[in-house]
Amino acid sequence: MGEGAPPVLTGRDIAVSFAGKTILDVPALAVQPGDLVALTGPSGSGKTTLLHVLAGILRPDRGSVVWGETDIARLRQSASDDWRYRNVGLVFQEFHLIDQLSPVHNVTLPATFAHFTVPPELHRRAQGLLDDFGVPADAHLTRTLSRGERQRTAIARALLLEPSILLADEPTASLDEDSARQVTDTLIASARGQTMVIVTHDPIVMERCRRIIRLEHGRIVSDDVREPAKPSVAEAAP
C-alpha cells in the first residue's frame, strides 16, 4: 500500500435505489490524487451510501467507479474485498471494533488477513498511531475505552497499512471540540499525500478540507474548492 502516485477516483452515472426510491443519483464525480474532500448534507442525503459505493462495499444499480484501470463497481465480491484491502482504509461510524481484543490488536487486525503473524514493524506502527491519537497504552481490552477513544482506535486501524484512499464516516462524531480538532490535525498529518473522502457535519473537519461536496436527496448540489485552514497544532507525522 501507499506505493507510487495514486490514480484519480472517478464515478460516472452512479445510481442507487431502495424500495423503488432513488437514494443516490450522481452523474459525475472525480476525486484527484491526494485530495481532501468533505461530504456533507442533511441526514438521509446519501453521504454514507456514496462513501460505500466508492469503497466497493455497495454495488450501484447503475454506473461505474474507476480507480486506475479497475471498475470497482463491477468486481466480484472476492476481488472487491482484495482491492479494498490493498488500497482503502475505512473508518465506520459504528467503529466495528472487537471488544475482547486490546486496542493494539484491533489496530493490527487488518494485517492478519495477509500475515500468519503480525510483523514487528506493523505492531510498532500500530502502537505509535495509538500514542499519536491519545489512546491509553495500558488498556488491555477495547471494551474499557471511552467512545471517543474507540473512535480514535478505529481511525488508527484505518491508517495502519498506509492506504492510498482513506474513507471516513463521521470520524469526529464522538469527540468534544478540543479532541475533534486534535484528532483532525493528527488524522490529516498521518494520512499526508493520501486521497481522503470524509463524511462529516463537523465544521472543524470541513475547515481543514480543500473541497466541500454537499448532497441533498441523493444529488450533489454544490462542489466548492477553497484554501483549507491551517492546523491548530504543529503537524508531525507519526
pLDDT digit string, tens, across residues 100-148: 999 999 999 988 877 778 889 999 999 999 999 999 878 899 999 998 8
Which range of 99-103, 182-186, 189-193 scores highest in mean pLDDT? It is 99-103
Cell numbers linked to 113: 488477513
How many other C-beta atoms lie within 10 A of the C-beta of residue 76?
8
Rounded Cα distance, 142 and 146, in Å: 9
- DSSP letters, 137-158, are TT---GGGS-HHHHHHHHHHHH
Is pLDDT at 1 greater than 60 in this prediction?
A: no
Q: Does residue 164 lie within any of the structural domains?
A: yes
H-helix or E-strand spanning residue 21 = strand 21-31
**209 belongs to a structural domain:** yes
In a domain, 194, yes or no: yes
**What percent of the chain is predicted at pLDDT more than 70?**
95
C-alpha cell at 186: 493528527
Is 207 part of any domain? yes
In a domain, 237, yes or no: no
Domain count, the chain: 1
Phi and psi at 94, nearest 5°, equal: -100, 15
Range of the domain at 132: 33-46+81-225
Q: How far apart are CA 164 and CA 6, in angstroms?
A: 6
Rg of the Cα atoms in the chain = 17
CATH code, domain with 133: 3.40.50.300
Residue 155, in any domain of the structure: yes
Let me know if residue 1 belongs to a domain. Answer: no
Report the pLDDT value the prediction gives residue 57, as an integer from 0 to 100: 95
Mean pLDDT estimate for the chain: 90
Per residue in 156-170, pLDDT (tens digit) is: 999 999 999 999 999
CA dihedral (90, 165, 169, 119) positive or negative: positive
Name the amino acid, one letter, at 47: K
Residue 71 lies in a domain: no
What is the C-alpha to C-alpha distance for residues 16 and 225, in angstroms, rounded to an integer? 26
